[in-house]
Chains A and B, each alone.
Chain A
Amino acid sequence: MDSPTLFTKLANGLTVHLKEIHTAPLISHWVWYRVGSRNEVPGKTGLSHWVEHLQFKGTPRFPPSVLDKAISREGGVWNAFTYLDWTTYYETLPADRIGLALELEADRMINSVFDPAMVEAERTVILSELEGNENEPLFQLGRAVQQASFQHHPYRNEVIGNREDLLQITLEDLVQHYRQYYVPNNALIAIAGDFRLEEMLQRVREVYESLPAGEIPPRNIPVEPSPSGEKRLEVHGPGETAYIQVAYRALPAAHPDFAVLMVIDSLLSGPASLNMFGGGGISNKTSRLYRALVEKELAVGVGGGVQATIDPFLFEITITLPPVYHPDQTLRAFDEQIVRLMETPVTSKEIQRAIKQARALFAYGSENITNQAFWLGYAEMFDHYDWFVHYLDRLSQVTPMDVQRVAQQVLTPQGRVVGFYLPEGNLPGGAP
Chain B
Amino acid sequence: MSLARPEILQTLPGPEDITRVELPNGIVVLVRSNFESASVTLSGYLPAGGLFDPPEKLGLAHFTALGLTRGTERHHFQQIFNLLESAGASLGFGASVYNINFGGRALAEDLPLLLSLLAECLRIPRFPQKPIERLRRQILTGIAIRDQDPADRAEMMFDEVLFPNHPFGKPTDGTRHTIARITREDLLAFHRHYFGPRGMTLVIVGAVSAEQVLEEVQRTLGDWQNPLQPAFPEIPAVAPLAQSVRSHIALPGKVQTELVMGTLGPSRLSPDFMPASLGNNILGQFGLMGRIGNVVREQEGLAYEASTSLNAWKDAGTWEVTAGVNPANLQRAIDLILAEIRRFIAEPVSWEELRDSQSHYLGRLPLSLESNAGVAHAILNLERFQLGLDYYKRYPALVESVTPEQILEVARRWLDPERFAIISAGPPME
A positions within 8 Å CB-CB of B: 23-26, 56, 64, 68-69, 71-77, 92-94, 96-97, 120-129, 131-132, 134-135, 137, 237-241, 270-271, 279-286, 291, 294-295, 297, 300-301, 320, 322-323, 353, 356-361, 363-364, 366-369, 424-425, 432
Given contacts A76-B364, A127-B326, 19 further A-B contacts (CB under 8 A): A26-B370, A68-B298, A73-B360, A75-B360, A75-B367, A94-B5, A123-B301, A128-B325, A132-B324, A279-B105, A281-B90, A283-B81, A297-B137, A301-B141, A322-B141, A323-B140, A353-B86, A356-B86, A357-B85
Q: How far is the CB of A235 from chain B (nearest CB, A)?
A: 12
Q: How far is the CA of A285 from the CA of B77 in the complex (A)?
A: 9
A-B contact pairs, 23 of them (CB 8 A): A25-B7, A26-B370, A74-B359, A74-B363, A75-B360, A97-B363, A125-B304, A131-B324, A135-B150, A135-B258, A237-B253, A239-B144, A239-B253, A241-B141, A279-B373, A281-B90, A282-B85, A283-B90, A359-B88, A360-B39, A364-B105, A368-B370, A425-B148
Enumerate chain B residues within 8 angstroms of A64, measured Cβ to Cβ.
298
Interface presence of B346 (CB below 8 A): no
Q: Which residue of B lies closest to A350 (CB)?
A: B86
Q: How far is the CA of A271 from the CA of B105 in the complex (A)?
A: 14
Q: How far is the CA of A286 from the CA of B106 in the complex (A)?
A: 17
Enumerate chain B residues within 8 angstroms of A238, measured Cβ to Cβ.
148, 251-254
Q: Which residue of B lies closest to A117 (CB)?
A: B301
Q: Are A323 and B366 in contact, CB atoms less than 8 angstroms apart?
A: no
Given known A72-B287, A121-B298, A301-B138, contact A279–B370 (CB-CB < 8 A): no
Q: How far is the CA of A110 from the CA of B326 in the complex (A)?
A: 33
Q: Are B138 and A283 in contact, CB atoms less than 8 angstroms apart?
A: no
Q: Which residue of A lies closest to B253 (CB)?
A: A238
Partner of B287 from the list A69, A282, A366 (CB cut-off 8 Å) is A69
Q: How far is the CA of A282 from the CA of B91 in the complex (A)?
A: 9
Total B residues in contact with A, Cβ cutoff 8 Å: 72
Enumerate chain A residues within 8 angstroms of B371, measured Cβ to Cβ.
279, 367-368
Interface presence of B372 (CB below 8 A): yes
Q: How far is the CA of A330 from the CA of B300 in the complex (A)?
A: 47
Q: Are B82 and A286 in contact, CB atoms less than 8 angstroms apart?
A: yes
Q: How far is the CA of A300 from the CA of B134 in the complex (A)?
A: 8
Given known A26-B370, A238-B253, A279-B371, contact A132–B304 (CB-CB < 8 A): yes
Q: How far is the CB of B19 from chain A (nearest CB, A)?
A: 21
Enumerate chain B residues within 8 angstroms of A359, measured Cβ to Cβ.
88, 107
Interface presence of B165 (CB below 8 A): no
> Could you give, for residues 106-125 of chain B, a 1 whenever the CB lies within 8 Å of some chain A CB and a 0 otherwise?
11000000000000000000
Enumerate chain B residues within 8 angstroms of A73, measured Cβ to Cβ.
356, 359-360, 363
Q: In the complex, which residues 342-382 of chain B have their Cβ closer than 8 Å to any Cβ of chain A?
A: 356, 359-367, 370-373
Interface presence of B8 (CB below 8 A): yes
Q: Which residue of A lies closest to B133 (CB)?
A: A297
Most chain B CB within a 10 A radius of its CB, from A24, A129, A271: A24
Q: How far is the CB of A272 from chain B (nearest CB, A)?
A: 12
Enumerate chain B residues within 8 angstroms of A322, measured Cβ to Cβ.
137, 141
> Could you give, for residues 34-47 of chain B, a 1 whenever the CB lies within 8 Å of some chain A CB and a 0 otherwise?
00111100000000
Q: Which residue of A lies closest to B7 (CB)?
A: A25
Q: How far is the CB of A362 from chain B (nearest CB, A)?
A: 9
Partner of A94 from the list B86, B150, B299, B366 (CB cut-off 8 Å) is B366
Q: Are A131 and B370 in contact, CB atoms less than 8 angstroms apart?
A: no
Interface of A is mostly: mixed
Interface presence of B411 (CB below 8 A): no
Q: Which 9 A-B pairs have the closest CB atoms?
A: A75-B363, A360-B88, A238-B253, A121-B301, A75-B364, A68-B287, A285-B81, A131-B256, A124-B301
Q: How far is the CA of A286 from the CA of B79 in the complex (A)?
A: 9
Q: Which residue of A lies closest to B365 (CB)?
A: A75
Partner of B107 from the list A128, A286, A360 (CB cut-off 8 Å) is A360
Q: Are B89 and A291 in contact, CB atoms less than 8 angstroms apart?
A: no
B positions within 8 Å CB-CB of A: 5, 7-8, 11, 36-39, 77-78, 81-82, 84-90, 92, 105-107, 134, 137-138, 140-141, 144-145, 147-150, 251-256, 258, 286-288, 294, 297-305, 324-326, 356, 359-367, 370-373, 426
Enumerate chain B residues within 8 angstroms of A56, measured Cβ to Cβ.
288
Partner of B303 from the list A123, A128, A300, A301 (CB cut-off 8 Å) is A128
Enumerate chain B residues within 8 angstroms of A23, measured Cβ to Cβ.
36-37, 370
Q: Which residue of B lies closest to A281 (CB)?
A: B90
Q: Are B360 and A72 in contact, CB atoms less than 8 angstroms apart?
A: yes
Q: How far is the CA of A323 from the CA of B134 in the complex (A)?
A: 12
Q: Are A75 and B145 in contact, CB atoms less than 8 angstroms apart?
A: no
Q: Are B302 and A26 in contact, CB atoms less than 8 angstroms apart?
A: no
Q: How far is the CB of A62 from chain B (nearest CB, A)?
A: 12
Q: How far is the CB of A182 from chain B (nearest CB, A)?
A: 21
Partner of A24 from the list B361, B366, B373 (CB cut-off 8 Å) is B366
Enumerate chain A residues within 8 angstroms of B373, measured Cβ to Cβ.
279, 367
Enumerate chain A residues within 8 angstroms of B326, measured Cβ to Cβ.
124, 127-128, 131
Q: Which residue of B lies closest to A96 (CB)?
A: B5
Q: How far is the CA of A128 from the CA of B303 in the complex (A)?
A: 6
Q: Which residue of B lies closest to A24 (CB)?
A: B370
Most chain A CB within a 10 A radius of its CB, from B82, B138, B253, B258: B253
Q: Are A75 and B361 in contact, CB atoms less than 8 angstroms apart?
A: yes
Enumerate chain B residues within 8 angstroms of A279, measured Cβ to Cβ.
105, 371, 373
Q: Are A424 and B87 in contact, CB atoms less than 8 angstroms apart?
A: no
Q: How far is the CA of A295 from the CA of B255 in the complex (A)?
A: 35
Q: How far is the CA of A228 from the CA of B108 in the complex (A)?
A: 49
Most chain B CB within a 10 A radius of its CB, from A135, A294, A300: A135
Q: Are B88 and A356 in contact, CB atoms less than 8 angstroms apart?
A: yes
Enumerate chain A residues within 8 angstroms of B300, measured Cβ to Cβ.
121
Q: How far is the CA of A117 from the CA of B288 in the complex (A)?
A: 18
Q: Which residue of A lies closest to B141 (CB)?
A: A300
Q: How far is the CA of A421 from the CA of B367 in the complex (A)?
A: 40
Enumerate chain A residues within 8 angstroms of B294, measured Cβ to Cβ.
68
Q: Are B256 and A432 in contact, CB atoms less than 8 angstroms apart?
A: no
Q: How far is the CA of A270 from the CA of B325 in the complex (A)?
A: 36
Enumerate chain A residues within 8 angstroms of B302, measured Cβ to Cβ.
124, 128
Enumerate chain B residues within 8 angstroms of A74, measured Cβ to Cβ.
359-360, 363
Q: Are B144 and A240 in contact, CB atoms less than 8 angstroms apart?
A: yes
Q: Are A134 and B144 in contact, CB atoms less than 8 angstroms apart?
A: no
Q: Which residue of B lies closest to A280 (CB)?
A: B90
Partner of A135 from the list B11, B141, B256, B364 (CB cut-off 8 Å) is B256
Partner of A25 from the list B11, B107, B137, B304 (CB cut-off 8 Å) is B11
Q: Which residue of A lies closest to B147 (CB)?
A: A240
Given known A271-B88, A280-B90, A322-B141, contact A76–B367 (CB-CB < 8 A): yes
